[in-house]
Amino acid sequence: MELPSIQGLSIEAGVLTMEKRAPVGERRAALSIGVPREVSNEERRVSLSPSGVATLVANGHRVVVEHNAGQQAHFADNEYSEAGAEIVDDAESIYQRCQLIVKVGPPSTEELPYLRERQVLISALHLGGTSASFLKRLMDLGITGIGYEFIRDSDGTLPIVRMMHEIMGSMAVQIAARYLESGEGGKGVMLGGISGVPPSNVVILGAGVVGEWAARTALGFGAHVVVLDTDLGALRKLEHYLDRGITTAMATDQYIRSAVLSADVIIGAAMSAGQRSPVLVTEEMVAGMRPGAVIVDAMIDQGGCVETSRPTTHSHPTFRVHDVIHYCVPNMPSNAARTATYSLSNVLVPYLLSIGDVASINDALWSNVGLRSGAYVYRRHLTKKSLASMFGMPHRDIELLIASGI
């Protein structure tokens, strides 16, 4: 069974042994960190900014960046080389030269053959698109896989997820405003309305980080905002943060149906950490929406929370079902590639430094609760109960594996 931090106990008070290793001087390890160019799903972000590379190099680590890895985020190769990175021509060279690979998305089908025994892979896993065969490939190679979706610090926050979700929440409303316009086939209405014309109704499914930032942005546009969630405490907090500028309701079938029928915009923002997002809006509900309304399912990378949602791409971002526009691009922050890269790099670099501060990835998992919670494969074992349930595979608890020395 999976025991996240063993019922809240810290690593010293949990199942790990109480003995502590005596300090014997500096144990910093020089890491070899690879940054491949993203090739999947029109991804424009890159995992490390030049300033992040400079920090790592200043701490004695080697960083290898693929040619044009940062081009679509407007980071030139010379910026990386001036920061101390080595530039190589192809992804295969990255995987051959580096023991630790940092990516935005998981390795593509073309990249999988490049993976080597016992490498460390830090990237998003994308629960909505992962497969048992991918996980088995990582386990067969003895790779330590750490997923952005799972990294949870000791205070309970998901730092990388939060940064991306702040961007997603704001962008979801900007995108919805554009697709409501007549030129995009929408209803031809403004989110905020004008004097004498009421504002549009924006319904947000979920009161988490995406929902919060979507609500903030929609309020900034002047829209009427309704937020639904199954967690009354989350709704209460959101009302407090936004000074009761929103309408909240429990996400019961009755309230969801009522809100969807009057919605000009639906923002899918409901999620369960490390699990598939819940489907709250059925196709029957979508069929009852007003023609030209817009659905932005920001949780499509976790499976989506609208039944009619299916993944789209930046080049073909929308489709219509029952004359309702659906925008379901999984890597939405990629459209704000530079901002998103800085955000990701700011959070990721301290984790990389913490790995370098100890002798190995095993010691880093031992000492860093964020990295440990982020591990989903380790030592040829699946370590997440949610993934095991999803694919019918066995799993082992990461803390027990570390404690036993397996």
Where do the structural domains in the chain lie, given as residue ranges?
5-157+337-404, 164-329
Torsion sign, CA atoms 342, 346, 347, 351 = positive
pLDDT-derived band of residue 10, with 50, 70 and 90 as boundaries? very low
Query: What tokens were used for 277?
Result: 């997002």
Contact 165, 213 (CB under 8 A): yes
Contact 331, 313 (CB under 8 A): no
CB-based contacts of 58-61 (< 8 A; 24+ apart in sequence): 58/84, 59/28, 59/353, 59/356, 60/28, 60/30, 60/356, 61/30, 61/31, 61/32, 61/33, 61/352, 61/356
Where does residue 172 rank: exposed (0-12), middle (13-18), buried (19+ CB within 10 A)? buried
217 closest CA partner among 236, 240, 245, 237: 245
Whether the pLDDT of residue 5 is over 90: the answer is no
Mean pLDDT, rounded, for 129-155: 92
pLDDT-derived band of residue 362, with 50, 70 and 90 as boundaries? confident
How far apart are alpha carbons 64 and 228 in whole angstroms? 45
How far apart are alpha carbons 348 and 209 in whole angstroms? 19
pLDDT, the chain, mean: 90
353 closest CA partner among 24, 61, 15: 61
Whether the pLDDT of residue 9 is over 70: the answer is no
How far CA 120 is from CA of 142, 143, 345, 356, 369, in Å, comes to: 9, 6, 17, 13, 17
Whether the pLDDT of residue 251 is over 70: the answer is yes
Where does residue 10 rank: exposed (0-12), middle (13-18), buried (19+ CB within 10 A)? exposed
pTM of the shown model: 0.80
Name the percent of the chain lying above pLDDT 90.
Answer: 76
HEC states along 94-141? HHHHCCEEECCCCCCCCCHHHCCCCCEEEECCCCCCCCHHHHHHHHHC
3-class SS of residue 375: strand
Strands (E), 219-285: 224-229, 247-250, 265-268
pLDDT digits (tens, 9 = 90+) for 299-316: 998 889 999 999 999 999
Whether the pLDDT of residue 405 is over 70: the answer is no
- From the list 61, 301, 326, 381, the catalytic residue is 301
pLDDT-derived band of residue 21, with 50, 70 and 90 as boundaries? very low
- Looking at residue 271, its pLDDT comes to 85
pLDDT-derived band of residue 67, with 50, 70 and 90 as boundaries? very high
Whether the pLDDT of residue 333 is over 70: the answer is yes
CATH code reported for the domain at 164-329: 3.40.50.720
How far CA 360 is from CA of 4, 116, 318, 351, in Å, comes to: 22, 17, 45, 13
Best CATH choice for the domain 5-157+337-404 from the list 3.40.50.300, 3.30.470.20, 1.10.150.570, 3.40.50.720: 3.40.50.720
pLDDT-derived band of residue 28, with 50, 70 and 90 as boundaries? low
Whether the pLDDT of residue 8 is over 70: the answer is no
343 closest CA partner among 76, 45, 69: 45
344 closest CA partner among 11, 49, 22, 38: 49
Residue 75: what residue type?
F
| Residues contacting 271, CB < 8 A, separation 6+ | 206, 208, 210, 277, 299, 302, 305
How far CA 304 is from CA of 89, 178, 250, 365, in Å, comes to: 36, 21, 19, 31
Expressed in angstroms, the distance from the first to the final Cα of the chain is: 17
| Residues contacting 356, CB < 8 A, separation 6+ | 28, 29, 30, 31, 56, 59, 60, 61
How far CA 11 is from CA of 337, 345, 369, 400, in Å, comes to: 36, 26, 8, 11
How far apart are alpha carbons 15 and 399 in whole angstroms? 7
Mean pLDDT, rounded, for 72-81: 97
Where does residue 160 rank: exposed (0-12), middle (13-18), buried (19+ CB within 10 A)? buried
Q: Is 126 a catalytic residue?
A: yes
Mean pLDDT, rounded, for 175-181: 97
Mean pLDDT, rounded, for 362-387: 92
- Looking at residue 348, its pLDDT comes to 96
